[in-house]
Structure 1
Amino acid sequence: MRSGFVKRRLSLLPTDPLGSLAELVLRFPVRTLLLTGCALLVAAVAAVGVNENLYHGGTTAPGAESARAEHTLSTAFRGGSPTVTLVATAQGSVDDPAAVRAGTLLAERARTLPKVVGVRAYWPQRPASLRGRDGRAALVLLRVASSEATAHKDVEPLLKELTGRHGPLTVAATGPTPVGLAIERQSRLDLHRTELLAAPLTAAVLVVVFGGVVAAGLALLVGLCAVVGAAAFLSGLSGLTTVSVIALNLTTALGFALAVDFSLFMLARYREERARYREERDPGEAVHRALVATVCSTGRTVVCSALTVMGSLAALLVFPLDMLRSVAYGGIAVVALSALLALTALPAALLLLGPRIDALSVRRRRPWAAPDGGRWYRVAYAVMRRPVPVVLVLGAVLTALVLPFAGARFGTFDDRALPAGSATRQATDTLRRDFDHHALHPVQVALPGLDARAGAFALDGYARRLARLEHVARVETATGTYREGGRVGAPEAGHGYASPAGVWAAVVTDVGPETAEGAEVVRAVRAVSSPVPALVGGTQAWLADLGDTIRAGVVPALSLIAVVTLLLLGWCTRSVVLPLKALVLNVLSLSATFGVMVWVFQEGHLSGWLGGFTVTGVTDTVVPVLVLCVAFGLSMDYEVLLLSRTVEEHEAGASTRQAVARAVQRTAGLFTASALVVIVVMAALAASGLLLLKVVGVGLAVAVLVDATVIRLLLAPALMALLGRANWWLPALRPALQSLVPMKR
């Protein structure tokens, strides 16, 4: 039966777009590889210096109130949040004559540097808020006329000039821009580390899987080509829009993993098809027919999988944040490139290699065997004989993994996301330990158009209302300093709360800007009636706006992922039930992943096993979105492979249970190998010194591990056994729609 099915399928290849592509590539294999090589060379040249065009940031939504407030404060009021905070540590006291002279010279030098538009220093006026508790450290606050995209060019020269030794003072830098620059440097180091770790470990896994060096090397080469293509694409994209440095780390890791995955699927199917045609008299014809059959079967799986992953990544475009959008652009491009390489360059190379694909074998390959009776075939049947207990037990296990996610506290990673040994991190630790850290990051309220003298009474009442809010320690503005609803003194000198453009106020809180309580304070400040329309900004407001932006985009993003998944899997499987089942399983898998992420990183478990990290007690708002979109796509990679083989077996005449068991037998080894490859790549990413990349790497590794084992090999067969004939239900379609659904192969 199966032999007749294969012959019938091959007779239809000229009408199949993938069959036509395969014939074209196999007719000109040398030209295909030469064209690929030339494109790779151009991409390698374009990728040179890609890091110089990327930046850290991209988490400010255009038009957000905090962004408008920051712009107003920096332009009209010549105020706003400091760009750079210099922490000057003295050998003795910062009030010693030598320290005063050195500090005064440091502040004067800073005022003369390009792009510096504002300096507020401890010396010579010596405001108490800029002096450390032990008297051995003091601050110099700089405002630099710079944007996120040009910060590394504008601020880095200033840091080289101002940090280091200045007489008895040792000066280190922190603040938003220095922290961003430190993250950029660390991400570049992590990218090299990921490449150095992932490539040899992946090669070792592939050699074990394929039993030969040539086949493993070919899959690895396709992965490396995808990495170069991703870097080149992001380099070109950076000339059109702002691109986050985080996008380079994530897209190269994703591209490498998927390119190797697709190659793994194609190579495994090619060996299976070649075994079918081993009785052909002409070995070249056998290779040719095996490759065409591979492209028309597994190639279809690769296309469907790539489209599903791209659809998941496209959901990131819903969020108006440059960081997420640059990951989406880079991810979509690298997934498309990975699929293209697997469907063109890989078959061309296999045709030219012929039997030499098995050269340099490290172990004897087992001959191709029928799918009935294998180990995984028996496991699948055992699961399907008792589907209800299997579903209940695995459901309980996944629910236990999900539970920590119920206690998630969303916030934002701060400077503590940097390695503990970073100079910038150490400067910030000093700031947090020796100074009133909250006073340095107040909620800033701009009141443009309000005259400080004529509107003094209204401003006084407004400040008193702000000072009554929960978690507000004090309010400082042009009319004085306020605590608990009353005026307690004059404002601290040097702030310049009043200007011809209006008045601004600093609302000092007793909670961290990265916490949920900090966001609540911002909302409370915005709810207080003001003398004139107010703009609320500062670090806490920016983080609150970021959280609101993420929350506003979650439902549209999830809806887009669901619709794309249902349509694509429905198109691939000619079923309504199978896509719905896949969607439910993916939700279970990802929920369990989020629970593990909260348990490990928010609650601090296993820190020692993961290279050590600082537990901040919050889950970064951006991380679940990144993990959701990327992990959903990776999970669908396995789902599409399993469903494609199940549908193929069912269309060949097998019963539902037999089709599922055969599909599991054929794909279980691929799931294991593919999961190992992805886990190796993501483990290298998890070795990052940056907490955000560490969390994403661990999250994706856990998602793949759970999905490739518990979900696809156990829970999916059990559910399909319970559904029975309902798996294949497809409502009657109008003739116009039938042409859009692929016919049985």
Structure 2
Amino acid sequence: MRRLALLVTRHPWAVLLVWGIAALLSLPLAVGTPGALSADPGTLENSESGRVAALLQDEFGERDTNTALLVTRSTPGLDTPPGRAAYERFVAGLEGIEGVSRVIPAQAGGSLTTRDAAGQLALTVAQIPLQAEGKAAVRRIRAYAAQAESPALDIQVTGAQAIADDFTEFTETDAKRSELFALPLIALLLLTVFGALVATALPLAVGVMSISVAMAILYALTLVMEVSSFAQSVVTMVGLGAGIDYALLMVNRFREELGRGGTSADAAARTTLTAGRSVLFSGATVAIAMAGLLLPPISFVRSIGLGGVLAVGLTVLASLTVLPALLTLLGERVNAPKILRSNWAQSAQASRAWTAVARRVTARPLPVVLLSTAFLLTLAVPAAGMKTGYAGAWGLVPGVESRDALDDVRRMGAGGLLSQFEVVLDLGGERYTPDQSGPFRALVGDLRALDGVKVVLSPFVTPADLQGAGVVGGDSLAALAQLTRRSFSADRTYLRLTVIPDDALRADLAPAFEARIREVLARSGYRFFLGGAPVGGREFGEAITGALPTVVLAVFAGTFVLLLLAFRSILIPLKSIAMNALTVGAAAGVVTWVVQEGNFAAQLGIPLNSGVLDSVLPVLLFAVMFGLSMDYEIFLLSRVQEEYLAGASNDEAVVRAVGYTARIITSAAVIMFIVFVAFMFGRVVATKSIGLGLAVAVVLDATVVRLVLVPAFLKLAGRWNWWLPAWLDRRLPHLRLEH
């Protein structure tokens, strides 16, 4: 650490030149990153839904199993010659779009039409490829729809691919809008804290620079793996929030060191050796938490972890290199020009008010610990009922086209097209013959009799069934022939059924529906595989939540070892983990209570009908909240240790540490709160949920936990705070952590 401090303070211009070049080279790549990100969660290895998808492709020759649903509103309606002619021109143009393999139009007076006050609604189904080709096809379909619209024909596009594309687009635009919203407020608050324009600009510069480079590296990752659109939000949240936190700590310590005499280079070097060590260890704890996301065997989740590790790693590097270099060159000019002259903004001394609070807290430590813990546990209670899944269109707020169009699709009775279950029956290598139709027909009948099933696509359905399901156009006989072909594999050793529900299934309702289908299939005597979007979503969610205990244990273990090295104590790491877990649990409980249960959801702009939290949210919230909560823990504990090693008693060290750090912690917390609240104004419910959870966590952590519960606990523990077995003390490397 000493070598780094001397390097950056002796060669500040060289350090700034290197970072300047890196930032300039990063800008073109960073700009292109959002377009390269994906909302597609990818596929799981050895999953049942994946096996079904492979069988449909390999055995049944299915290629374009993706669909785009186009809702048209016609004035006049399809039952008039002008309206029908306009609609047929629209369908003919749709059929000519690259990537559209088949178009199933609506029929005048059919079940896939309805009327409202604005005209006649009709549903048109376009079959398109999967993955990248499907994304390109939807982009072309949307461009065509915009071109084909007229005063007499309004067109909206929805479907699984359109919904996923909207997730990606709005995650990107929401992140940009959040930055634009947050930065002016952050600058105003920093000006209040420092009272000087130069000192105010430094944290913002570090945050923006680290985010730019991290986004460029994220773009490079998209060339070799699928990178989640959530990664952008994580990079922005972690980079901006932690970057400002660390810069706030470093600049505040530098101003304190300037008051002790010596050159600006000396003050910057001492700042790096003291506050810089705290930044390094704090960043390491955040990186450990984010690295926990690398454990689930899902590239979608791993990409979020990589984004978080990149963001915090570059933020720490910038804080330990760019900041000391700038501080060396600026010297006393860091306090210029002075805009505010209040003692609170300019003082680097201990806060009298917070010192008094610390003395009152430590005077009655046991009641404080019990009441604070009870309060946090109460907030955490709703988290026990947390439900997760893929929210689909319900994960977007009203006003987004793919979500609003889905409401129209459901009114026409075709919502089940987005929740189809695919069944493949394995005949064990035997070829299907007509005399086996009895059991096959009986199974179709049993599935069709299930509550909530609209139709079962098989060779035994009628043209009326097909028309009602939205899978047939005008030529019913041709469609029946095609349906018969799709029901048997090329070698006739596999059979296929498609179960279409009455309506689109929310993620919290789909498992019960799936269980009823499995029960019927199990009684049939056939060996079967069950797939489709609802099954794939459930499997994906279970894979993530199943990995959560491993992630939690790995993060706890890594954090314990790091804090053990930093503070040479057994109790301090255990206490830190327990209290951070309380913060995470309380914040998760609030998110569940609001987003899932709907309390105050409308006031926060969160839809009331999502029913679940996005599958990735529990593990993502844990990693980000646990990591960032450690910032304040290390800010406080490093000062406690510094005062204790300087000769103060345990109790006095705690009081002094609160006095010196509370102003920094509360200022940093308000800044991070602004960053996180900005994400609550987005149009993606998952992003809003992350913002809500982190905003709640930072408020609880910087008040109830860090400035009340922790000091009271440290008082109760007394000398045991610093106990370490002699045999372990001899074997551990000696590190010094100060701020």
Q: TM-score, normalised by structure 2?
A: 0.89
Question: One-letter code of the match for 1:411?
Answer: G
Cα distance between partner residues in 2 of 1:38 and 1:305: 27
User: Is 1:33 matched with 2:16?
Assistant: yes
Task: Report Cα offsets for 1:272-302 as digits up to 9, x if no partner.
Answer: 2222x23xxxx42xx3332222212221111
User: Is 1:462 matched with 2:440?
Assistant: no
- Report SS of the residue matched to 1:537: strand
Q: Are the aligned partners of 2:15 and 2:321 in contact in 1 as well (CA < 8 Å)?
A: yes
Q: CA deviation at 1:60?
A: 3.9
User: Is 1:358 matched with 2:335?
Assistant: yes
User: Is 1:375 matched with 2:353?
Assistant: yes
- Structure 1 equivalent of residue 188 of structure 2: 204
User: Is 1:434 matched with 2:423?
Assistant: no
- Structure 1 equivalent of residue 670 of structure 2: 676
Q: CA deviation at 1:605?
A: 2.7
Q: Are the aligned partners of 1:226 and 1:338 in contact in 2 as well (CA < 8 Å)?
A: yes
- Structure 1 equivalent of residue 561 of structure 2: 567
Cα distance between partner residues in 2 of 1:442 and 1:255: 40
Cα distance between partner residues in 2 of 1:46 and 1:621: 30
Cα distance between partner residues in 2 of 1:691 and 1:606: 14
CA pair 374-477 structure 1, distance change in 2 beyond 3 A: same
CA pair 468-721 structure 1, distance change in 2 beyond 3 A: farther
Query: What does 1:463-482 correspond to in 2, within 5 Å?
Result: 463-467=444-448, 472=453, 475-480=456-461
- Structure 1 equivalent of residue 466 of structure 2: none
Q: Are the aligned partners of 2:682 and 2:688 in contact in 1 as well (CA < 8 Å)?
A: yes
Q: CA deviation at 1:93?
A: 4.0
Task: Report Cα offsets for 1:630-683 as digits up to 9, x if no partner.
Answer: 111110111111111111211122211111111111110111111111111111
Question: One-letter code of the match for 1:112?
Answer: G
Task: Report Cα offsets for 1:200-247 as digits up to 9, x if no partner.
Answer: 111111111111110111111111101211221111111111122232
- Report SS of the residue matched to 1:114: coil
- Structure 1 equivalent of residue 508 of structure 2: 516
Q: Are the aligned partners of 1:231 and 1:248 in contact in 2 as well (CA < 8 Å)?
A: yes
> 2:434 is matched with which residue: 447, 453, 456?
453
Task: Report Cα offsets for 1:521-570 as digits up to 9, x if no partner.
Answer: 32453463366543322221122112211222111111111111111111
CA pair 79-238 structure 1, distance change in 2 beyond 3 A: closer
Q: Are the aligned partners of 1:70 and 1:80 in contact in 2 as well (CA < 8 Å)?
A: no
Query: What does 1:479-558 correspond to in 2, within 5 Å?
Result: 479-480=460-461, 494=479, 496=483, 497-501=486-490, 502-509=494-501, 512-526=504-518, 528-529=521-522, 533-558=527-552
Q: CA deviation at 1:474?
A: 5.2
- Structure 1 equivalent of residue 255 of structure 2: 271
- Structure 2 equivalent of residue 335 of structure 1: 312
Cα distance between partner residues in 2 of 1:438 and 1:132: 17
- Report SS of the residue matched to 1:444: strand
User: Is 1:319 matched with 2:263?
Assistant: no
Q: CA deviation at 1:72?
A: 3.4
- Structure 2 equivalent of residue 9 of structure 1: none
Aligned residues: 710
Task: Report Cα offsets for 1:145-204 as digits up to 9, x if no partner.
Answer: 231x45443320122124543795432210011122223332332222112111111111
User: Is 1:742 matched with 2:735?
Assistant: yes
Cα distance between partner residues in 2 of 1:697 and 1:84: 31
Q: Which range is displaced more, 589-598 or 405-414?
A: 405-414
Q: Are the aligned partners of 1:98 and 1:168 in contact in 2 as well (CA < 8 Å)?
A: no
Q: CA RMSD in A?
A: 2.9
Consecutive unaligned residues in structure 1, runs of 5 or more:
1-17, 482-488
- Report SS of the residue matched to 2:610: coil
User: Is 1:687 matched with 2:691?
Assistant: no
Q: Are the aligned partners of 1:25 and 1:348 in contact in 2 as well (CA < 8 Å)?
A: yes
Task: Report Cα offsets for 1:500-523 as digits up to 9, x if no partner.
Answer: 434321223467532333123324
Cα distance between partner residues in 1 of 2:36 and 2:314: 22
Question: One-letter code of the match for 1:88?
Answer: T
- Structure 2 equivalent of residue 298 of structure 1: 275
Q: Are the aligned partners of 2:416 and 2:500 in contact in 1 as well (CA < 8 Å)?
A: yes
- Report SS of the residue matched to 2:600: coil
Q: Which range is displaced more, 469-478 or 208-217?
A: 469-478
- Structure 2 equivalent of residue 10 of structure 1: none
Cα distance between partner residues in 1 of 2:553 and 2:578: 14
Q: Which range is displaced more, 625-634 or 708-717?
A: 625-634
Q: CA deviation at 1:480?
A: 4.1
Cα distance between partner residues in 2 of 1:69 and 1:97: 44
CA pair 673-151 structure 1, distance change in 2 beyond 3 A: farther
- Structure 2 equivalent of residue 11 of structure 1: none
CA pair 743-159 structure 1, distance change in 2 beyond 3 A: closer
Cα distance between partner residues in 2 of 1:453 and 1:630: 59
Cα distance between partner residues in 2 of 1:744 and 1:544: 45
Cα distance between partner residues in 1 of 2:145 and 2:436: 41
> 1:70 is matched with which residue: 44, 53, 66?
53
Question: One-letter code of the match for 1:358?
Answer: N
> 1:444 is matched with which residue: 412, 422, 437?
422
Q: CA deviation at 1:338?
A: 0.4
Q: Which range is displaced more, 374-383 or 301-310?
A: 374-383
- Structure 2 equivalent of residue 154 of structure 1: 137
> 1:601 is matched with which residue: 571, 595, 598?
595
CA pair 613-467 structure 1, distance change in 2 beyond 3 A: closer
Cα distance between partner residues in 1 of 2:561 and 2:367: 31
CA pair 173-223 structure 1, distance change in 2 beyond 3 A: same
Cα distance between partner residues in 2 of 1:184 and 1:234: 15
Q: Are the aligned partners of 1:133 and 1:435 in contact in 2 as well (CA < 8 Å)?
A: no
Q: CA deviation at 1:704?
A: 0.6
Q: Are the aligned partners of 1:77 and 1:499 in contact in 2 as well (CA < 8 Å)?
A: no
- Structure 1 equivalent of residue 707 of structure 2: 713
Cα distance between partner residues in 2 of 1:741 and 1:145: 59
Q: Are the aligned partners of 1:672 and 1:708 in contact in 2 as well (CA < 8 Å)?
A: yes
CA pair 463-680 structure 1, distance change in 2 beyond 3 A: same
Cα distance between partner residues in 2 of 1:131 and 1:394: 58
- Report SS of the residue matched to 1:48: helix
- Report SS of the residue matched to 1:173: strand
User: Is 1:222 matched with 2:206?
Assistant: yes
Task: Report Cα offsets for 1:468-499 as digits up to 9, x if no partner.
Answer: 66655654422348xxxxxxx9x985371424
Q: CA deviation at 1:324?
A: 2.1
CA pair 239-737 structure 1, distance change in 2 beyond 3 A: same
- Report SS of the residue matched to 2:337: coil
Q: Are the aligned partners of 1:603 and 1:615 in contact in 2 as well (CA < 8 Å)?
A: no
Q: CA deviation at 1:100?
A: 4.0
> 1:191 is matched with which residue: 162, 175, 186?
175
- Structure 2 equivalent of residue 406 of structure 1: 384
- Structure 2 equivalent of residue 7 of structure 1: none
- Report SS of the residue matched to 1:624: helix
CA pair 452-226 structure 1, distance change in 2 beyond 3 A: farther
- Structure 2 equivalent of residue 53 of structure 1: 36
- Structure 1 equivalent of residue 649 of structure 2: 655
Query: What does 1:608-623 correspond to in 2, within 5 Å?
Result: 608-611=602-605, 613-623=607-617
Q: Are the aligned partners of 2:99 and 2:133 in contact in 1 as well (CA < 8 Å)?
A: no
Q: TM-score, normalised by structure 1?
A: 0.89
